[in-house]
A and B are shown apart, each in its own frame.
Chain A
Amino acid sequence: MKELTPEETSLLELVDRLLNKGVVLAGKATISVAGIDLIYLGLNVVLAAVETLEKAQERRAS
């Protein structure tokens, strides 16, 4: 299990709120971030993405 730093945690909590909380309006278009439909992007996915990124960085460093 990757240990999150307080800085990572703060960013993830904020991103989770931006993407998963707030008013849901029936927008006629949902703009995607890097090809991912925002509606399906949850904190767990973000966490997994960060962990994958970290592992990739570790692999590159070794």
Chain B
Amino acid sequence: MTLLAHAIAAAPPASFPRDGLRGRPLEWSESAATGLGLWSTEWASDFTLERPDALEHHRLVERICDAQPCLPVRFGTAFPSADAARASLESRADALRAALARVAGKSEIALTLLWRRVPAAPVSEPAGGPGRQYMEARRADYAAREAKRARAESIAGRLVAQLATERPLVWHEVCMSESVAVSLAVLVPTELALERKAELSRVAQEFDDVVPVVNGPWPPYTFARNE
């Protein structure tokens, strides 16, 4: 038997449905020494995880987070036994307790800014031989990439400033792919999550060269990292 990990929490609620992935049993493995435990599904080690399992894991983590403060575990982490899971918790108990305190009562809102497609400028006939043309094209590509990165950083800076929240509660990355200008996550009090989501959406509409996509509230995936 393998245990497929979902979330770490303190003592479980008195009653919690014990349905895990694909209707398999949901297990609670508690480490008495740390006061922490792991929610996991009893899994057969020869089962391959599919996309629906990832989404079901997400729904399960949401359900756990609704019931108690929890730290989502990276999807795909598995243990051969409850003892192995407990040993893993015990080896990093202090960091896990600190992370749990950081996210308790909070949810994550995600904002993605996609570059708005602009019509390509007319290309003039290049001068010089093939070597020069190649170098000119490379220089133009590099300049365009740098300009986009600078613009994305500028947008992210303005967003973070306008969020008026503590910096450790905001994470962002720019230019993750050709389509994505900014990916940003903010940790907000769960009871204010929808209000903050609307605010974030409103602020993000101010930039006319990107298309905002706002998601959440989600479990605090980004802020549960213990690395």
Distance between Cα atoms of A30 and B80 in the complex (Å): 11
Distance between Cα atoms of A61 and B48 in the complex (Å): 30
Check A3 for interface membership: any CB of B closer than 8 A. yes
Check A53 for interface membership: any CB of B closer than 8 A. no
* Chain A residues positioned under 8 Å from B77 (CB to CB): 24-25, 27, 30
Distance between Cα atoms of A28 and B81 in the complex (Å): 9
B197 to chain A, nearest CB (A): 13
Check A56 for interface membership: any CB of B closer than 8 A. no
Q: In the complex, how many residues of chain A place their beta carbon closer than 8 angstroms to a beta carbon of chain B? A: 34
Are B176 and A43 in contact, CB atoms less than 8 angstroms apart? yes
Are A14 and B91 in contact, CB atoms less than 8 angstroms apart? no
* Chain A residues positioned under 8 Å from B225 (CB to CB): 21-24
* Chain B residues positioned under 8 Å from A6 (CB to CB): 211, 213
Interface 1/0 per residue, B209-225 and A, CB below 8 Å? 00101010010011011
Closest to B74 in A: A22
Are B50 and A33 in contact, CB atoms less than 8 angstroms apart? yes
Distance between Cα atoms of A48 and B176 in the complex (Å): 11
A30 to chain B, nearest CB (A): 6
Interface 1/0 per residue, B186-221 and A, CB below 8 Å? 000000000000000000000000010101001001
Closest to B179 in A: A4
* Chain A residues positioned under 8 Å from B222 (CB to CB): 17, 21
Check B227 for interface membership: any CB of A closer than 8 A. yes
B9 to chain A, nearest CB (A): 11
Check A9 for interface membership: any CB of B closer than 8 A. yes
A15 to chain B, nearest CB (A): 7
Are B74 and A33 in contact, CB atoms less than 8 angstroms apart? no
Are B224 and A21 in contact, CB atoms less than 8 angstroms apart? yes
Check A52 for interface membership: any CB of B closer than 8 A. no
Distance between Cα atoms of A28 and B2 in the complex (Å): 10
Interface 1/0 per residue, A23-62 and B, CB below 8 Å? 1111111111110001000011001100000000000000
Distance between Cα atoms of A4 and B80 in the complex (Å): 39
Are A9 and B213 in contact, CB atoms less than 8 angstroms apart? yes
Interface 1/0 per residue, B141-169 and A, CB below 8 Å? 00000000000000000000000000000
Q: Give me the interface of A with B, judged by CB distance under 8 Å.
A: 1-4, 6, 9-10, 13-34, 38, 43-44, 47-48
